[in-house]
Structure 1
Amino acid sequence: MQSLASKLVPKAVEKLIPYQSARRIGGQGHLWLNANELEQPINYGDLSEKDNNHYNRYPDFLPHDTAEAYIEYCEQNSGKLNCEAVTVRGADEAIDLLIRTFCHPGKDQIIICPPTYGMYEFCADSFSVNTCKIPLLADFQLDVDQIKEQLPNSPLLFLCSPNNPTGNSIHEADIITLLEASKDSTLVVVDEAYIEFSSQQSALHLMHKYPHLIVIRTLSKAFGLAAIRCGFLLADSSVMTYINRLIAPYPIADPTAEIALKALSSNGLEVMHKQTNQLIQIREWFKAQLMLLDSVQHVFGSETNFVLIRFKDHLDTYQHLITQGIVTRNQAHEEILKDCVRITIGSKESMLETLNALKTLK
């Protein structure tokens, strides 16, 4: 039976032969003279001998050990998964790869549900792909009926859950409804960058029944590794066969893979979970304190590491905090988020400083 991915993929991608890098071709031997690398590492002094002894060689063309470790981590919460994972340079590269793999420039459109993460539209624009915007409802949930109308015209639907910048998770029942409605038309992408902060189960467990579901994850948020630019794209093999054709020859640097493996070790996961639980406690305390402030109109529920707050009319909260040396995110460019500011949760000391600054807001 022909998969949905094979129906949607452009002919140019279907015929594309992946670049055959030296690592991808592989081979057996004791002299490696196939990749135009320096045979011996150069000692630059500031690197330890251990760190420096392999940087002269190209990394694995796809770091399978990192991807396998991430699947094992996901299976701790979602059960046995029937999918593949590929390590990418942050969730942003995953978004870009999906659009380049499954959309025809100048012809196709993706569906997004604003207010949401801006990179979906940016990546589409950069590839001459249109964006169909179906705004969230007043409670920041999906307008399922309007989305269903656009599915036949769209190879990709991007859903962010928990959503940035609103902070809420999308109802799983709505995701399932859309997966049912899109079986013959659309690949459904659920971006779970903030899933570790959420009480809702990951959509990964739905992949058994819906092979056209794709999940994006990252080490930038709960794992605290934004600087190493490491993300993961998880999908059925029928989808991954085409994505793999467009992945760069050496997508992940060895230091990135090494740090990621440490974070995904049993000890690393224990540290991450402890830190996440502490941050969630600070988040809930901060929300309660915000609601006591006269300047605050509404504090939205959050299943992320940030809080979205609506302040009273005509208060320039963002600029006021800037004058106090506190940089937040102004969301006023979205009509539905007028007078809203997004504040990332930090240490309790940082949140106390922020609260004190807000108390002087007039």
Structure 2
Amino acid sequence: MESLAQKLVPEAVEKLIPYQSARRIGGNGHLWLNANELESSCQYGEQKEGYHRYPDFLPQDIASAYLAFSQQGSEPLACEAVAVRGADEAIDLLIRTFCQPGVDKIMVCPPTYAMYEFCADSIAAETVKVPLNQDFQLDMAAIKSQLSEVNLVFLCSPNNPTGNIIERADIVDLLEAAKDQALVVVDEAYIEFAPQSTVVDLMREYPHLVVIRTLSKAFGLAAIRCGFLLADTSVMSYVMRLIAPYPIADPIAEIALNALAPAGIDKMQTQVGQLVATRDWFANELASLSIVDHVMPTATNFVLVKFNTAECMYQYLCSKGIVTRNQSHEPALADCVRISIGSRESMQETLQALKDYQLSA
């Protein structure tokens, strides 16, 4: 029986033979003369080991470790995992795999992460936009009315930049409606801040559900650019045809494996607990300011704040050396600023700057 992934994949990808790198082809022996590598390593600076050999063509150890982490406390998932160079590469891979340039479309629900539309634009795939409702939840009627036009639907939950969790019932409703229509991609970059809201368990029933994860946020490893794609075999078999020959460098793989070891996971969870406590304190303090119209509920490591001031608070905070993210370019987020949560001291400084503005206004 033809899978939805097979139905959606462009003919060029269907016929594509994955690049046969030396590591993918493999082999056994004691002299490795197949990959045009140096047989010994030059040492640069304080480098402690040689990097003259190419890494694994697919870093299976990291993928296995992440799959085990993602299904903690639940039954084994009916899916595969692959490590990629950040969640952004996962987005790009999915669009390049299942959208034919100039022909196919994706759907997004703004305000949301801008990378979905950017990646679609990069291959001349059109983006259908169905804005979130006033509660920043899905407009299910509008989504369903346009599902037949698109190959991929991208959701972010918890959502960036609003911070809220997309209601599970709506995601299930969408998965039902999209069964023979589109792949549903849920970006869970911030899921460690709200682990109870994950939808990975739904992959058992819905093979057209794809989940994106990352080590950049809660694990605090943004610099290593390591993300993960979780998908059914029917989906992953096509994604694997486009993935880079050596997607993860050995030093990155080592760091990722350490982060996903029990001690690393414990450290991450402790760090998340401390950050959430600081976030909630900061949000409560912000809500008491007269210059603040509203602090959006958040399940992430940031808060979205709507100000009621004549002056742009993003610019004001910049003048005090505090760089935040101006969200006013989004029609639904006029006068809104997104503030990432740092240390208690950093948030106290930010709060004091806003109090000083309030006193002088």
Q: Same fold (TM over 0.5)?
A: yes
Deviations 1:71-124 (A, max 9, x none): 000110443111000100000000000000000111111000000000000000
1:313 Cα shift?
3.9
Alignment correspondent of 2:291? 295
Alignment correspondent of 2:20? 20
- Aligned counterpart for 2:189 among listed residues 172, 188, 193: 193
> Does residue 320 in structure 1 map to residue 300 in structure 2?
no
User: Aligned to 2:186, what secondary structure does the other structure show?
Assistant: strand
Runs of 4+ in 1 over 6 A off after TM superposition: none
| Cα contact 2:291–2:309 (8 A) shared by 1 | no
Alignment correspondent of 2:178? 182
Whole-angstrom CA distance in 2 between matches of 1:351 and 1:168: 21
Alignment correspondent of 2:57? 61
User: Aligned to 2:242, what secondary structure does the other structure show?
Assistant: coil
Alignment correspondent of 1:311? 307
Alignment correspondent of 1:208? 204
Whole-angstrom CA distance in 1 between matches of 2:195 and 2:79: 23
| Cα contact 1:85–1:233 (8 A) shared by 2 | yes
Alignment correspondent of 1:34? 34
| Cα contact 1:88–1:230 (8 A) shared by 2 | yes
1:45 Cα shift?
3.3
Whole-angstrom CA distance in 2 between matches of 1:77 and 1:232: 19
Q: CA RMSD in A?
A: 0.8
| Cα contact 1:78–1:204 (8 A) shared by 2 | no
| Cα contact 1:78–1:202 (8 A) shared by 2 | no
User: Aligned to 1:207, what secondary structure does the other structure show?
Assistant: helix
Whole-angstrom CA distance in 2 between matches of 1:307 and 1:328: 11
Alignment correspondent of 1:236? 232
User: Aligned to 1:62, what secondary structure does the other structure show?
Assistant: coil
Alignment correspondent of 2:109? 113
- Read off the aligned partner of 1:168 and give its amino acid letter: N
Deviations 1:168-201 (A, max 9, x none): 0000000000000000010000000000111542
1:22 Cα shift?
0.1
Alignment correspondent of 2:4? 4
User: Aligned to 2:111, what secondary structure does the other structure show?
Assistant: coil
- Read off the aligned partner of 1:136 and give its amino acid letter: L
Question: Which shifted more, 72-81 or 187-196?
Answer: 72-81
Name stretches of at least 5 consecutive residues in structure 1 with no aligned partner. none
- Read off the aligned partner of 2:242 and give its amino acid letter: L
Whole-angstrom CA distance in 1 between matches of 2:136 and 2:318: 28
- Aligned counterpart for 2:97 among listed residues 83, 101, 112: 101
- Read off the aligned partner of 1:65 and give its amino acid letter: D
Whole-angstrom CA distance in 2 between matches of 1:90 and 1:317: 31
- Read off the aligned partner of 1:4 and give its amino acid letter: L
Whole-angstrom CA distance in 2 between matches of 1:327 and 1:142: 30
Whole-angstrom CA distance in 1 between matches of 2:205 and 2:268: 30
| Cα contact 1:167–1:300 (8 A) shared by 2 | yes
Equivalences for residues 43-82 of structure 1 within 5 A: 43-48=43-48, 52-53=49-50, 55-82=51-78
| Cα contact 1:283–1:345 (8 A) shared by 2 | yes
- Read off the aligned partner of 1:33 and give its amino acid letter: L
Q: Percent identity?
A: 66
- Read off the aligned partner of 1:230 and give its amino acid letter: C
- Read off the aligned partner of 2:25 and give its amino acid letter: I
CA, structure 1 residues 18+136, in 2 after alignment: closer, same or farther (shift >3 Å)?
same
Deviations 1:144-189 (A, max 9, x none): 1111111111110000000000000000000000000000010000
- Aligned counterpart for 2:332 among listed residues 336, 348, 351: 336
| Cα contact 1:169–1:200 (8 A) shared by 2 | no
- Read off the aligned partner of 2:4 and give its amino acid letter: L
Name stretches of at least 5 consecutive residues in structure 2 with no aligned partner. none
Aligned length: 358
| Cα contact 2:165–2:197 (8 A) shared by 1 | no
Deviations 1:47-73 (A, max 9, x none): 12xxx22x0000000000000000000
